[in-house]
Structure formats: structure tokens, C-alpha cells
Structure 1
Amino acid sequence: MSSPSSAPLTEAAVPFDPASATIAIVTYNRSGLLSRLLTSITEMDPKPGHVVIVDNASTDDTTEVVESFREGLGAELVYRRLDTNTGGSGGFSEGMKVAYDLGSTWVWLMDDDVEVIPNGLARMGAWAPRFKSIQGRRYDYDGSEFYWQYRIAEPLGIPIPFAPAGFDESGFKPMNSGCFEGMFIHRDIVEQIGLPDPRFFIYWDDQMYGWLASRKTTSVIVNEFVLRRTREIKQWDMGIRHMNASSNAYRYYIMRNRGHMKNYYRSLGVYNPILFGAGTALTFGKEVIRLIAVERTVRGTSNLFRGLRDGKKITKDASWRPMPPLVDIS
């Protein structure tokens, strides 16, 4: 892998301090997976200053698992148990807020179904003097290289599935998206774009947040493997790419949240009704293909239609506003 020092710095470099970073984890009823992730954090070198765990009102033994790691984690542990399940979106919004209030310079977001490569923080920190919105790479459950769609077709509001996977000698590629399974972001950008939007509940929230970040700074994906997925997901192997199985809840929010995306586009003056509508139609078609090819059924399309209906209600809500910048709040 290429060293980040192989290209010149564009501004004065600030040395990365691991203690200035916070890992923010969102979990819900997956204590076994969470235990694997926390075990991997105990093996990290260097470790972050804080580990924030947001528990979306789990009903299993998550609290006991978290407390069992408090003494031996090697970083200050902050546990937030929510009263209700706010989805991944609400969890990451709360996790980002807690990390920000702790004074963290860097926030590393991750789901509970990954584990950290021991030197992962050092690998991400090596790029911190140059960029403020960074995505590392992940190994899949089977140890293969996981491909993440790091660019979106902005007018359509959808990922580009065949953006080149390879890296040149620079070791990074510009991105205009984001993924909460490994997003590494500087507090300066969080101040400007605000917290992740909890109204999404699940889906499109991280793509939107990464896109908003890319409008404020040069966002990059770097050729550094820093995470490993620990949960196997049913997939359709298409050779070059894979298509994962979904659920009725995901199908609903995939379509409903196009309403929130449309409102963000409108607020920023980049909304094109024809092109964005085409992106919505392509999303609908992709989910139908997913149902047939991966899950071998046509049951579930009603959730797509419900999502479309409720998304239209969101676009007609005159009180809707984007998440406010934190600098304005403070």
C-alpha cells in the first residue's frame, strides 16, 4: 500500500494524536458481535482516547457485555443506552454528538458487525494530516476484499456500482459518499454539516452525510484495510460485484428516505426533478431485482410502494429543515 507521504501536503500538517480520536459504535441486540468488536479494540495499537457505545434499547445482554469490557478496554468507555430503537441513523447521530461533546478531534464510526485491524487507527491517522473525511477499506466475512461504492451519481442520488476498485500510487481516490461502517471524520467538518440526520432511521443516511462532507472538504477512500466484517450476509454473486439480501424494513426506508434526500437536494439548490426521479426509479428496479435474484420471491414489493407514498409526504412537509450546523448551535 502506498504511503500518504507520497504526495505533497496541501496545507500545514497537524500530527495525528490517537488519543484525540473516538470510536463511536451503534449496537442493537447483537451482543455477540459487539463482544468481538470490543475484543478487537483491546488488541489495538495505538488505541483511541474514547470508545462510545450507543445501545438502541437492546433487550439482550448488551449492557452486561459492555460493562465487562470497561476495565480492560484500554480507552475510556462511554455507554449510552437509548430508551427506544432509533435505528442506525439515530444511533450514529447520538454517537457523533457524544463524541463531539467529549471534544474529540476525530470520530471513527462503525457498526457492531465489524472488528478493527490492530493497527487500523494508525493507518487512518497517517492520512489525517492531509484529509478531513476519510474512508478506509474492509475485508469481507470470508476474508476477501470488500468493494464499497464510494462514488455517487449526484444528480440521480444513487451509487455508481462500477466505479474503479483499483488504486494508483497515490493510495487514495476522491469520494463523494460515506459509509458509517468505518467513516473517519474531523470535528471541523461535523461542525459545518451538523450531526447525522436521525430522521432517516436506516438507509441513505451515511451516503447523504458523506456527500454533505464532500461539499466542504476533499473526501477520500484510502487503500488501507482497517476493518473486517464479522457477519455473513446472503449474497448474489455477479462475478465482479455482489448484491446482498435485504429486508422489508430496508425496502420501505430505501424508498421513503428518497423524500429526505430530495429535500436536502432542494435546500442546497442541486435538485433536478427529472434526473432525481430517474434515480428513484432505478432504485425501485434494483430492489425488485434484489427480491427476485437474491431472496427468490416477489413478496415485499408492497413495502417499496409504501415507502414511495410516505416519501412523497416528507417532500410536502413545509416544516422540513436540514440538520443545522453545530457552529450555529454553539
Structure 2
Amino acid sequence: MSSTSTPAGIPGSVVAFDPAAATIAIVTYNRSRLLTGLLESITRMDPKPGHVVIVDNASVDDTTEVVESFRERLGSELVYRRLETNTGGSGGFSEGMRVAYELGSTWMWLMDDDVEVLPDGLARMGAWAPRFKSIQGRRYDYDGSEFYWQYRVAEPLGIPIPFAPAGFDESGYKEMNSGCFEGMFIHRDIVQQIGLPDPRFFIYWDDQLYGWLASRKTTSVIVNEFVLRRTREIKQWDMGIRHMNASSNAYRYYIMRNRGHMKNYYRSVGVYNPILFGAGTALTFGKELIRLLAVERTVRGTSNLFRGIRDGHKIARDSSWRPMPPLGATPAGSQPAL
């Protein structure tokens, strides 16, 4: 594990990060056991964030009772939002960031319910706050191994680069042009400029797209700091130097459908190339076929890919489509009524 000392290039006398100005935003859905583990890990954090926002996607288990059981012992102010319907991870993170932003948070740390925070995780992320405004930390996988995340996107294709170098040099960071809501640490200035995460995605591509938008406004980095540990085991195909995870019919559908939203975002910022982006869509389709055959060992599920392509075309042709708007400026640290 890397040192918690001040990162290279930042004067040691600079003190710009206030943990109380940070908010952890968690999205959960019917996984109260996993959520319990995450909240327990937050009780052990030092320092702790000023707020913990929990967005519940209309769970039908005992999530509400679990959340309330932590209210007095969490050590941070807890804000609980139970939605009336399941809005998916995209809708949940959009709402979580909205609440955190309106709380006046300077930094927003997003995470799913299937991770735990390492005790000094916030300190490690905060050490980089004086230098960058879009930061991704590292994670341990379920088995304790180092989790590899695809931090670079081939922009013209709109797909991640699976073999971007995993190692770090003495700087302790690498520039990225992507994002992951399992650990995204982002400054309110960037959120104000690019708006909230787009809930229309429901699941998939939303965090990569959001991180890409952030990287167009600021230098985004992944840092050599282990701050999270995954707590849910996922079926994988071991490819030697990389793994391919199992998926689901819902994921297969949204992987292809949401290419329509991505195409529209690319158009909105003037970088859309129909040939190259189409090639990225074809590669995505091929990857999902391989996932079905190699990881799940079935051909059932291909219909969801084709449904996604069909509905993605409808989204891309929608003349009323607009990107998420920038947010109105409110002072950091303000506490409007929610």
C-alpha cells in the first residue's frame, strides 16, 4: 500500500482538504447485508466525511431499518433518501450527487453498496485534493487481489482500453479520461460545469461517460492509493492478465441501448465520428457475445443485445434529446433545505 504522505509536487504546507466538506454518496438496492458492511467500515474511518448520503432504490428488504440503526453511531451526519421506484444505479447516483451538491459539499465520493472503505481512505484521497478535481482511487478485489480498472477510453470508439498499463511511476498517479461510480471522488466545481450524472442510462456506460465529460474540464487522474475493498464475489473468466466478469440480461440490453445516449453526448461536444463510434459499438457487441460464451457458457441472452441496439437507434434519432444541464452556482458549505 502506498504512503499517506503528501503527493509529489504538492508543497507540504498546503492544507486545502477538509474532510467535513466531503460527502460519501451510496446507492443501494435490496442488499442490506452488503450495505451493513459498508456502513460498519465508515464507522471505523479516520477521518470521517461530514455527510453520508444513502439513496435507496425502493428496496423491499430491511434496508430502511439497517440505515436507521447506524444514524447515531455512524460518526457523520446521515441523509437517507428512499426513492419511490428503482431508478437503477444511474438514477441513484444522480440523486445522490444532487443531494450532496445541495448540502454544499466540496467533494463527493460515490460508491456502490458492495464495497467497504479502508479506515484511512478519505485521508488518502484528500491528500490529492489540492492538485486535482477528479480523482479515482484503487480497490482490492473480493479475494484481496489488486483490482484492475480500465481507466483509459479510446475516445473515437467510445470504449475502454482493456490493456492500459497497470503500473505507476514515482508520481503516484496516471491521467485518465474515464470514471467509475465505485469510488469516483469529484469536486463540486466540476459537477457544476457538467451537471449531474444522467439518470436516463439506468445502468451501464453512465460513469464512464461522466468521467469522460469531467476529463474535458479538468485533469482527471487515478492515484496509487488503495481506498476501497470489494465485498461481493462475481463470476469471472480468468484471461491471465485480466478478468472478464459475468453479466445479466438487463446489463446486456443497456450496454447496447445506452450507446444511443453516448452517441448524442459525443455529438453535443462535437467529437462524434460515425465510422469509428460504430466500430466501437460493434466491438462492444462482440465482447458481449464472448462474455456469454466464455463466462456464462450459453448463447441465451443475445436477444437482449439486439433489443438494446434497436432502442439505442431510437434514442440517437430523438431530436428532442438534450445533455444534462450545468448546475446553478451555490456556495460550498451552504446547507439549503432538502
- What TM-score comes out, normalization by structure 2 length? 0.95
Q: Which amino acid aligns with 1:189?
A: I
Sort the Cα spacing of 1:8 and 1:75 in 2 relative to 1 into closer, same or farther, 3 A. Answer: closer
Q: Which amino acid aligns with 1:95?
A: G
CA deviation map 1:196-247 (0-9, x unaligned): 0000000000000000000000000000000000000000000100000000
**Offset at 1:130?**
0.3
Contact 2:7–2:172 (CA under 8 A) maintained in structure 1: no
Query: Any idea what SS the aligned residue of 2:60 has?
Result: coil
1:175 aligned residue: 176
2:284 aligned residue: 283
Q: Distance in 2 between matches of 1:297 and 1:173?
A: 38
Q: Distance in 1 between matches of 2:317 and 2:239?
A: 39
Work out the percentage of aligned pairs sharing the same amino acid. Answer: 87
Equivalences for 1:73-222 in 2 at 5 Å? 73-222=74-223
Q: Distance in 1 between matches of 2:329 and 2:42?
A: 34
Contact 1:4–1:170 (CA under 8 A) maintained in structure 2: no
Q: Distance in 2 between matches of 1:259 and 1:326?
A: 24
Contact 2:10–2:130 (CA under 8 A) maintained in structure 1: no
**Offset at 1:327?**
3.1
5+ residue gaps, structure 2: 332-338
1:253 aligned residue: 254
Q: Distance in 2 between matches of 1:156 and 1:100?
A: 32
CA deviation map 1:99-158 (0-9, x unaligned): 000000000000000000000000000000000000000000000000000000000000
Q: Which amino acid aligns with 1:16?
A: F
**Offset at 1:301?**
0.4
2:243 aligned residue: 242
Q: Distance in 2 between matches of 1:181 and 1:8?
A: 26
Q: Distance in 1 between matches of 2:330 and 2:19?
A: 27
1:33 aligned residue: 34
Q: Which amino acid aligns with 1:56?
A: N
Contact 1:31–1:60 (CA under 8 A) maintained in structure 2: yes
2:225 aligned residue: 224
**Offset at 1:4?**
4.5
Query: Any idea what SS the aligned residue of 1:327 has?
Result: coil
- What TM-score comes out, normalization by structure 1 length? 0.97
Q: Which amino acid aligns with 2:131?
A: R
1:6 aligned residue: 8
Contact 2:135–2:222 (CA under 8 A) maintained in structure 1: yes
Q: Which amino acid aligns with 2:8?
A: S
What number of residue pairs does the alignment pair up? 328
**Offset at 1:329?**
10
Superposition CA RMSD, Å: 1.4
Q: Which shifted more, 12-21 or 38-47? A: 12-21
Q: Distance in 1 between matches of 2:62 and 2:141?
A: 26
Q: Distance in 2 between matches of 1:35 and 1:156?
A: 39
Sort the Cα spacing of 1:55 and 1:166 in 2 relative to 1 into closer, same or farther, 3 A. Answer: same
**Offset at 1:15?**
1.3
Q: Distance in 2 between matches of 1:177 and 1:203?
A: 13
Q: Which amino acid aligns with 1:79?
A: Y
1:54 and 2:55 correspond: yes
Contact 2:179–2:211 (CA under 8 A) maintained in structure 1: yes
1:263 aligned residue: 264
**Offset at 1:8?**
4.8
Q: Distance in 1 between matches of 2:156 and 2:329?
A: 28
CA deviation map 1:228-269 (0-9, x unaligned): 000000000001000000000000000000000000000100
Q: Distance in 2 between matches of 1:255 and 1:283?
A: 8
**Offset at 1:14?**
5.6
Contact 2:24–2:108 (CA under 8 A) maintained in structure 1: yes
